[in-house]
Structure 1
Amino acid sequence: MQEERERRPETPAEADGTTGLFTALGKMLKRLRERKGLTQKEFGVLVGYGPDAISSMERGVRLIRPEVLEKADALLDAGGMLADAIPEVREAMSRARTRHPEWYRGYADLESQAKALHVYSNQLVPGLLQTEGYSRAVFSQWRPLLGEEAIEKRVVDRMARQQVFQPGGASPTFSFVLDESVLLRPIGGAEVHAAQMQNLVRIGSFRAVELQVMPMDREEQPSMDGPFNLLTARKGEQVAYVEIHTYPRLITDAEEVRVLSERYGLLRAQALRPSESLDLIDKLRGSL
């Protein structure tokens, strides 16, 4: 059964047969960047991404957004080779947001079209905020152990979900409340942890994102039952999602959703303000 699960298509790219597209685009991007004499860090600055993200794109692990292809085509003198792939990439991204394991698909469909998403986490950095290195460390520690191929598939899937962020244009509203303990747990080691903290500051600076930290010294904690997500769908209805030991539950009952919404409001009220939270994260990152 374990082997069967690992052989199943689990990533959007694999499920839709677009793995080759992003692998080819990644190789082309790398070749053009090197021909131009740019490092991954230098190129990342020009297109608005960090070197880890550029590395992921060049290896086909992360979907390359259309605006990156458009900028890269001009910056790297690609002569339209990258820009011409934008229609296919848009189609692949649309499928990627909805092609997930069956048990997760209902929530994934809603998340990809949500007007607002609010997340509370007291164990890990939420998947939408994870770096590739952090995500790989999480899946590498999974029990029972996953094979290397399965780990890579799940990392790709997680990175694909992050296409919901549109920092340069219209975007859903996001808010995250993280327990301070999440920031103190160096999953993946010091280097991975430092990169993850930097990524939190980066995403937390997006106009559509509010990221708050719940300090360890708070004497009250309104959600001792654990993490949860609140999602407002396009038609305005709100649902909740919880997952414990890979057992997912999509909550649509109005009263249950109301209770979690009330808890989330209390969490936000007791947490540090977004600016204070980013300052704390930056301070903790600087001490690593």
Structure 2
Amino acid sequence: MKQDVAEARYPKKVKDHAKLERQAVELAAYENHNVHGLLQTAEYARALYEMRRPAFGPDEVERHVAARMARQEIFERKPLTMLTFVQEEVTIRRPLGGRAVLRRQLEYLLEIGQLRNVEIQVMPTDREDHAGMGGQMQLLKFKDGSAVGQGESQLFSRLTFDPKEIRILEQRLGLVRAQGLTPRESRTFIEKVLGET
């Protein structure tokens, strides 16, 4: 799909990101500061939204949490979407919202990781080589072979339709997956962290 056609077909605004997720047949993501939104429990998401500065009001927090939870229908949608996540080790150790919230979040990661269309990997802190040092990234692929990439920083989230940038994201995500623990090793690692929490 040509870039101009892709841009006309897919929305550019981050708030429309959920629409893109619903259309995707494959999603690959790397997260370096918190658990990926699709993998969050309501309590964990609420803790994140309550930490936001400038602060959201209680109604805004609940609206955002509800929207985040609604996105999780992707796990059960038919046909199944292939979902791969690499979580930086710190994202499964940092007790955002407190230890009880973290425990439930880790239990949820183990639960979701058992789905046939989901792979969760951990990128250990002790890795000397790391292709994800540029930060959070995500790639969505669609039935027609097109793709959309996404990256985030403090105040900005950017979608890209540029084939060259998509190839770079594919390479980086592939390397991050190869450098991280395998899904089985990651499960064992998450179980160990849960046991310590």
State the TM-score, normalizing by the size of structure 2: 0.90
In 2, distance between residues paired with 1:192 and 1:109? 28
Which of 23, 27, 35 is residue 125 of structure 1 equivalent to? 35
Q: Structure 1 residues 150 and 106 mapped into 2: Cα distance closer, same or farther (>3 Å)?
A: closer
Kindly indicate which of the two structures has a greater share of residues assigned to helix: 1
- Give deviations 1:78-111, integer Å, cap 9, x for gaps: xxxxxxxxxxxxxxxxxxxxxxxx9324432221
> What amino acid maps onto 1:117 in structure 2?
L
Give the greater-gyration-radius structure (CA).
1
Mapping 1:18-97, distance limit 5 Å = none
2:108 matched to 1:108?
Answer: no
CA deviations over 1:51-83 (Å, ceiling 9, x no partner): xxxxxxxxxxxxxxxxxxxxxxxxxxxxxxxxx
Partners in 1 of 2:169 and 2:70 — Cα distance? Answer: 27
Is the counterpart of residue 243 in structure 1 residue 152 in structure 2?
Answer: yes
Contact persistence 1:107–1:241 (CA under 8 A): no
Question: For 1:231, what is the secondary structure of its paired residue?
Answer: strand
Cα distance in 1 for residues equivalent to 2:67 and 2:108:
18
User: Which blocks of at least 5 consecutive residues in structure 1 are unaligned?
Assistant: 1-101
Deviation of 1:244 (Å): 1.8
Question: Does 1:209 find its partner at 2:118?
Answer: yes
- Residue deviations 1:7-56 (CA, integer Å, cap 9, x gap): xxxxxxxxxxxxxxxxxxxxxxxxxxxxxxxxxxxxxxxxxxxxxxxxxx
Q: Which has the higher contact order (CA 8 A, sep 6+)?
A: 2
Find the aligned partners of 2:61 and 2:15 in 1 and give their Cα distance.
19
**Structure with greater proportional strand content:** 2
Report the equivalent of 1:188.
97
2:71 alignment partner in structure 1: 161
Calculate percent identity across the aligned residue pairs: 41
Aligned residue type for 1:171: L
Count of aligned pairs between the two proteins: 186
Task: Give the corresponding residue for 2:3.
Answer: none
Contact 2:14–2:158, Cα closer than 8 Å, also in 1: no
RMSD: 1.4
